[in-house]
Structure 1
Amino acid sequence: MRMELWSFIFSVNLFFAMNVVHSNSATTTTLLGNEGNETDRMALLAFKDGITSDPLGALSSWNHTLHFCNWNGITCGRRHQRVTVLNLSGQNLLSGQTLVGTLSPGISNLTFLREIHLQENSFNGQLSQDIGRLFRLQHLNMSYNSLGGEIPSNLTHCRDLRVIELRYNEFTGKIPIQLSTLPKLSLLFLRHNNLTGSIPPQLGNVSSLINLDLLGNSLVGHIPDDLARINNLKQIVLSVNLLSGTVPSSFYNNLSFLEVFAVVGNQLHGALPPNIGFSLPKLRYLLLAGNQFSGHIPNSLSNVSSLEWLGMDVNQFSGPVPENIGWARNLLTFDMSYNYLGLGRADDLKFITSLTNCSNLNELSIQTNHFVGLFPNSIANLSTHLYWLVIGQNQISGNIPSQIGNLINLKALGIYSTFITGSIPTSIGMLQNLQRLYLGNNSLSGKIPYNIGNITQLTNLDLEYNNLQGSIPLSLANCTKLLRLSLSPNNLTGTIPKQIIGLSSLSIALYLSQNLFTGSLPSEVGNLKILELLDVSQNKLSGEIPSTLANCKSMRELYMQGNAFRGDVSSVFTTLTSIEALDLSDNNFSGKIPKYLEGFKFLQYLNLSFNNFEGEVPKQGVFGNASAISVTGNDNLCGGIPELKLPTCPVLANDRRGKAHVSRVIILVVSVVVCLIFLLCVPASLYSVRKSRKKPSSLSSMEGRHLKVSYAELCKATDGFSSANLIGTGSYGSVYKGILSRIENVVAVKVLNLHLRGAAKSFIAECNALRNIRHRNLVKIITSCSSTDFGGNDFKALVLEFMPNESLEKWLHSKLDGQHQLGSLNFIKRLNIAIDIASALDYLHHHCHTPIAHCDLKPSNIFLDEDMNAHVGDFGLAKFYPRIIQSSSEDQSSTTVLKGTIGYIAPGNKFINFLHPIYSQ
């Protein structure tokens, strides 16, 4: 009984003791949980305080009315109600000058945090080393920002880190060796930064690594053999760096799970092993373009059933293409262009027949090789998914297959610079998705098919250097998207159709030269308001130049030589102020040479020879350079600069007496008028002097041509350089939107951060580059300011024209900016932007007084005006190349060192990278 009593008492005591302990434990957990919750809330508010711009209102819910677990972008764990995920991607958030203040003590105090997704914002500055305090972190994504500095080495404290995504930023320095100690790291994405040094061999210790992406940096040295130790590695992307040497043989032998191997745009060499198709059986993408690989294409590649993209263009491969390459039935892209392939045999193109097995093939490029033989009819049996077919610059003969129209989804067809004969098949009119058709430099004959007008999507049509006859089909007028049309030289006859020369879409060039066209130049030529080049030379055209040509204000080159044009041109070209080359030679023009041509500042070539011009030759502008003009064959010309060796213009005696009499009358009249004006203006002058003491000088009183501004004016224009007016940041400073009161225009004010090394040098380089260049596709400089701020510190700024549609970078990578749906550039817009950029570069390289290399061309340095016209800006790294250097190959070789941001343009005769998105994946 006593024993049972003691047991009962013990049980009761134990029950109460357990309840007390449980109660205390629960109390302790509650207290710790509340304290942890408050820590997370304060950490998030500290992060919010570091955000200077929130255009989409992503943080509007971050207030005291909601629990922080319900805030936008926040995910909490169920058990402790602690923050585990921070996801504010694509919100265009702008931080201050450094992330040290926003990640510490902000994010770094969220100790339960497992995922950070802050990609596609506008964060700048550097990542704080305190990020290493997030020891539970598994996924870090800060891609598509403007972060700089070195990658924090103490990320290695985050032992659970599996994914690091820092793509499309401005990180510098070397890849931290410490990353090799992360035991669970599987994805490392560092593409498109400014990383230097070599690839750390220690990364071979990360056995969990599946995907390594280092594209678009400045990495040097060899590819480490150690990487082949990562047996589970599936993707290696090392494209667009400065890597050299050979690919380690262990890569081909050990990485049996490898799916993607991309080393495009490096300096690698060597041959591919014959057994590559057996040792890498899972290979999907083999991208070797833009290197110095050589040897034969291994036959074993045809055994890789998973192969989708075989890109070996711009190398030194030789020999035959495997006849059974089509056994790789999943091929999507087959690009062997710009090599030395072919054996000079009639069956060089036999492999094309095997490619008919690839039912999803969408790109076939074999141009610029040594292939010979007949054009294979089997090419018309290729996949109907094919959108890119280019086989030009080979020694191919025969005819274009009449069934070419079967390839209904073609967007680009290039059969140029071959020995192809016969006529253009009428079935080509079935290719209604075709945008680019290149059939130039062949021996094609017959007429241009009338149904070519069915290809209404055409933007480029090139039929030059053939033997085509007949007239231009009027159906071409249906091609209202045509940007470039080249029909010269051929044997085309008849008049130039007004429907064709009136195609207002033509903006790049219209080549009609060296044909047999007759009649006059139609007045509809005035519809070509945005055309840059018109060539109607070497025909049988006659009549006067239509006055409507004055509408073509974008014209840069005009060639009309070798015709029978006549008339006085003194008033024809007055509005063509952008003209750079004008050739009117071998015609019947008469009258005086237009003196206004002296003021055409872009005009660099003028040929007026063999006409009937008379009178005095001007001496200024282009006329001051004897090598830039030609006036021979005009017997009644005189004067000009001595180098032209023209007779002196005669002055008749009667003219002298008449001029003397007129001069005396003019002097008398002017004297009387001056006296009257003086008497009337003295009171007004006294009044204006008094008023000028009280009122600042206006724009009309500026010295010279350039507006002079002070620090105070720029400060006022930008509301004290307010963050609300901040529209962008760069390597050496920030750009603000402002309104200069004196000119009442919106401007962009680029303020240099002179604390940064190289900023002052960048300012001088940009001033030197911009002061003497003028082009519609360059950002115009309004003025500059080199002064001191209110604290006596040095201040330097550039005032530039404002671009309402911001940079191309934001259109390519952003989603929404509150006004525009970004990232939605269609093909035509992309093509127009590419044309604008090319025009600017052509001007800088070939048409400046001193050629200029931009050295930092990238989407963030290309700006779009309100009409989506592209303008190249940011000349902080520009280099000048005196023309005398261009003739020296030795000096040319010394300028090949890369400067600025490394970018990538797909090699070969392709669209620019962003025109051909598959190359930028």
Structure 2
Amino acid sequence: MQTLEQLRNGELKGAVSLKLSEGLSQFPNEIFDLADTLEKLDLSCNKLSELPADFGRLKKLKILFCSENLFTVLPEVLADCPLLDIVGFKSNIIEKVPAKALNTNIRWLILTNNKIIELPTQIGNCSRMQKLMLAGNKLKELPAELSNCNNLSLLRIAANQLSQLPKWLLNMPKLSWLAFSGNSFNIKPKINTIPLIHHEQLEMSHQLGEGASGIISKANWRVNDQRKEVAIKIFKGAVTSDGLPEDEMLTYIAAGSHHGLVKLLGQVSAHPEGKQGLVMELISHRFFNLGNPPNFVSCTRDVFDESMRLSVQQVIKIATTIASLAAQLHEKGVMHGDLYAHNILIDEDGNTLFGDFGAACFYDKIDEELSKALERIEVSAYGYLLDDLLTLCEKTVKDQPLLKLKSLRDACIGSDVKARPEFRFIANEMLKL
């Protein structure tokens, strides 16, 4: 992070990236001194409510983040930056999105956690849009013109006020990652209870990780004078970019037992701060992340360490486990919504654990048309996972298993949603390899 003083002293001349967070209430005009080089501007965590009328002077700007400010209107001047590719205004108080503010060059738009009631029909002109983050707003419907965004791959509309999931959404050719929990049309099915584990039985050790929805820690669980090492996830309780923590917890419980899931041991009770939490088996240290989350360039596709290579056997084992688990989830009316390599842990033998239910949603299995459509959206995500696995495969010879996987991949990501196979079919085909 740089400082306003550095900017004013000319120390940042020629900078490509600039991040300022100093409680700013006005846009520093000195930023225009970087107009010839600046490509990324992060003004998050300030007190800004508007951008200057001549903001378009930043002709080379590609990425703009203004999260956690005081904007009430998405600035129209965004349209004046010809190369603007990624825009983030998360956690402001935005109520209005003017048509002009929707720069048609935008590929990734983040408006999570605002107060937006409606979107202009002109959003359908954003033909490059691949990722649209709208969770935590007050949307009552989506404009049908959004269906014109044929490159849209990831859509987050959780925690809004939508009365229904638009049918046109279910046929979008590239939509693969969809999260829609916390709307008025959502169902909350009755799920099997799991044991309650009193918070006082859990001795916290140290933090293992932190995500948008909660903190995972290592702990000792005291049971009848014995101690068992476990992992605990305590949910923060606030809406995330993907959805509601309550839905994450309930869908994970509803998923049931599967060798591709970290085993749930119980639900935390009597937390001193009233928070919800889950107790899980501790994952062996031999497991590691298969991939890394998308970056600014890849947008909706995971990225991988350069050293990552997989054998044909590992690829088959990973793909088989995920297909089997996804089939089980959809048979229970659960859409994961975030089927990605970065949510998968593997070991050297290809044993696989799938996690992070932060974007997961329940849907009505009785509605057969909706049920099949949602499953086939997720099948597309699985197809991209297969594509990643094939890219990582160390074997390039055209042996039969790889040819079969390539054929399955192509069927999964086909633009005709209704022609895609279902997960149970895919799982059965994988068992033949």
Q: TM-score, normalised by structure 1?
A: 0.26
> Greater CA radius of gyration, 1 or 2?
1
Tell me the TM-score normalized by structure 2.
0.49
